[in-house]
Amino acid sequence: MCAEVQVSFLDKLSLRDWYKYTLYLSAILLILAVSIDVKIEQNRLVNFSVRTMIISCFVWIITETLRTAFRYYEEKKSEWSSERFTEGQKVILWIKFFADWSAFGIWAVLLVRTLL
């Protein structure tokens, strides 16, 4: 009997980690902007790439910090109450939601400014 093996590059793709993909793409764009002569001003591409890398790293740090805090509250939840989410967890989820959408909005504005 043969076992079926499936390999897909999109298996690890998740919308939760959008900032990692923008980080990788901005690094590739930075390398291309420095090494290849493009029709868009090179300084604009370099600035966009660097700013995108900074935003992505910032969101990555915030997300990992909040994920650690959420796990802490998850461990303590059994001691505190039997609710679905504790108040601490709700606050962490709202902060993560706000941080993700704010950073994504800033990144979208940077993209539009670079293209126009």
Asked if residue 54 belongs to a domain, the reply is: yes
Angle of CA points 43, 45, 46, to nearest 5°? 65
101: containing domain = 18-115
Asked if residue 1 belongs to a domain, the reply is: no
E runs forming strands in 13-98: none
Domain count, the chain: 1
Asked if residue 5 belongs to a domain, the reply is: no
Question: From CA 7, how far away is CA 9, in angstroms rounded?
Answer: 7
Asked if residue 4 belongs to a domain, the reply is: no
Asked if residue 12 belongs to a domain, the reply is: no
Label residue 108 left, alpha or beta by phi (over 0 means left) and psi (-120 to 50 means alpha).
alpha
Provide the whole-model pTM: 0.66
pLDDT in tens, 12-35: 555 567 788 888 888 888 888 888
Asked if residue 111 belongs to a domain, the reply is: yes
Residue 85's pLDDT band, with cuts at 50, 70 and 90, is: low
Asked if residue 3 belongs to a domain, the reply is: no
Average pLDDT taken over every residue of the chain = 76
Q: Residue 92 has what pLDDT?
A: 80
Q: Is the pLDDT of residue 7 over 60?
A: no
